[in-house]
Amino acid sequence: MDLNAARMSTLSLILAGGRGSRLKQLTDHRSKPAVPIAGKYKIIDFPLSNCINSGMRKIAVLTQYRSHTLNQHVQRGWNFLRSDFNEFIELWPAQQQTGEDWYRGTADAVYQNFKMIDQLNSEYILILAGDHVYRQDYSVMLQEHIENKADVTVACIEVPVKEADQFGIMHVDEDDNIIAFEEKPSNPPTMPGNPNVSLASMGIYIFSTQFLRDNLMNDAQDCDSSHDFGKDLIPLFVGRSKIKAHHFAKSCIPNDSYPEKPYWRDVGTLTAYWESNMDLTKLVPELDLYDESWPIRTTHYQRPAAKFNYNYEERIGTALNSVVSAGCIVSGSTVEQSILFNNVRVNSYSYVKKSVVLPRCDIGRYCQLTNVVVDSDTNIPPHTIIGEDPVADAERFYRNEDGIVLVTQAMIDALPKTDV
């Protein structure tokens, strides 16, 4: 089978039902893949764009937790494929199709949808997480899967050993056969010859469809299984099936300025989310969103261009080393090393530094914000100072161990009137 035929015979499943509790209040009213990122996107735009750019045009988004904003986003911005060409992006909500349980794990989410999967007669299944930020040509991984005649291929990336306990960690032999796999080990094994890094699963899998069907049916009957790919199925395959590792460096879309640094971020924690946004404020970001050969698509709305008001000695509308999105007004204030999402207003005499301000927020006059994530539709009252006093921040808002402060409108509303 040639590569074009293989692409047409591949079904991509994006697992987008996660609660995302480690993002705290950012996921109180939305699922993790629907969290805004990078000024104008949502996290799910990255795997969706990778699919389209890779020529994978049969896509199902599996949703469950608080999926309204995600459904709305996909329906409004991703409905351009041609059904008469057998192309589609469909939303598959949890429907308890195999019993009375909602999705019990990543593997169970796929198992519960196998009736619909079978109707599509796809030879290969590409399984993706809906909450990672990266650029990858999945067709390179697919071609390697076919050439290896593998049952399953797992994308992997080198990670610092100090962070490896957050991932599934694998051992491979000289032919990239996976010979051991541990999910989030407390003492992560390192790569041979390099004690500083481990080889981590990216949560990206390509399966031969029949192989996946058979194993999901067996897993569904296992009362001791948590029905998760990383915890249960992938370790089970080791030594029993042909399971291969695909190195992300082979299929990532490189940034010419950082050819040796493949960019992939799991933005599952508040700090990781803040850092991934801060990455984009650098002079030359590691993630190149300006590469027209690999565009990241999203839902578009009609908005005016960003605007900067006033040019007085103490009242200058300025943005330095920042990303300012459409619809924003920086009015006599200073924004430094920050990201303003669409339709944000920063009023006079305020200073916003190293902060992520989500859509439709209003920062009042004389405010100072440092190391802050401001949730959508939040109005920061005048004279509010956040990021200077850790004790005061923790009393009023959510402050994590890394000093990142999350502010929502509900937190503002709960403040005593004397603090507003």
301 is in an annotated binding site: no
162 is in an annotated binding site: no
Query: C-alpha dihedral over 344, 348, 353, 354, to 10 degrees?
Result: 0
- Three-state DSSP state, 3: helix
Q: Among candidates 208, 234, 10, 11, which has minimal Cα distance to 113?
A: 11
184 is in an annotated binding site: yes
CA distance 18 to 28: 12
Which residue, chain included where needed, has tokens 């299929």? 251
Q: Is 257 exposed, middle or buried (0-12, 13-18, 19+ CB in 10 A)?
A: exposed
Amino acid at residue number 80: F
- Three-state DSSP state, 363: strand
201 is in an annotated binding site: yes
State the alpha helices, DSSP H only, in 9-113.
45-53, 68-77, 106-111
CA 410 vs. chain centroid, Å, equals 25
168 is in an annotated binding site: yes
CB neighbourhood size of 222 (10 A): 11
Q: Is 88 exposed, middle or buried (0-12, 13-18, 19+ CB in 10 A)?
A: middle
User: Which residue positions form the known binding site for alpha-D-glucose 1-phosphate?
Assistant: 103, 168, 183-184, 201
- The binding site comprises 103, 168, 183-184, 201
